[in-house]
Amino acid sequence: MHQIDLRPIRFSDAPLLMKWENDPEVQAESFEKKTYCFQDILDLIDSAKSLEETGQLRLIIDVENEPIGTLDFFHWKKEEKEIEVGILIYPKELRGKGIASEVLRRSFDFLKLFSIERVIAMVNTQNQPSYRLFSKMFDQEEKTNEKGSTFDTELGTHSIFSKCLKNS
């Protein structure tokens, strides 16, 4: 296994983040369809505070000291002790090599420090690498609302997965 590290985003990551965020293939698998300008990326980095301050956190995934993706936590519901997660491995040739699984496993202990007991992932069913990842590591929600655990949006069909951290 390669050396995998997680670190905060830095201003020097801005060109790479802009490339990733505006990549049509990445956007096709995402909830976000916005085209980012360089200032948007700088603002995103500048607003990156602690998880406790903002309820969200974006980390860069480095493999052998090279940035290859992001791990995002967002929509922290402190009272419910749950948070949502998203992960990007780029370029796509690096997907399916166990990097995302290792990153998620490592993040669970970190999240427990904030008393987070449940992690949620909403995955586009067309995004097969993410679907396989979360199917393997999380449980698919039985029923989350009247529509069930799979729902359609203008962005495609999505499944909801969750991971209980309380006893893991």
This prediction's pTM: 0.89
pLDDT tens, 91-100? 989 998 999 9
Per DSSP, helices labelled H in 4-37 are 14-22, 24-28
pLDDT tens per residue, the chain (168 residues)? 579 999 999 999 999 999 999 998 888 777 677 899 999 999 989 888 888 888 899 999 999 999 999 999 999 999 999 999 999 999 989 998 999 999 999 999 999 999 999 999 999 888 888 989 999 999 876 655 544 466 676 667 888 899 999 876
Task: List residues bridging with 85 in a β-sheet.
Answer: 73
Number of folded domains that form the chain: 1
Q: What's the gap between Cα 88 and its chain centre?
A: 6
Q: What is the CATH number of the domain that holds 126?
A: 3.40.630.30
Q: Distances in Å between the alpha carbon of 137 and those of 11, 22, 108, 119? A: 32, 28, 11, 11
118-124 and 156-164 beta bridge pairing: antiparallel
pLDDT tens, 83-124? 999 999 999 899 989 999 999 999 999 999 999 999 999 998
Residue-range definition of the domain harbouring residue 108: 4-164
- How many Å apart are CA 164 and CA 89, to the nearest integer? 23
Give residues with Cβ within 8 angstroms of 161, minimum separation 6. Answer: 120, 121, 122, 123, 134, 135, 138, 139, 140, 141
User: What percentage of the chain carries pLDDT values higher than 90?
Assistant: 62
Q: Specify the amino acid at residue 138.
A: F
Q: How many CB atoms lie within 10 A of CB 4?
A: 16
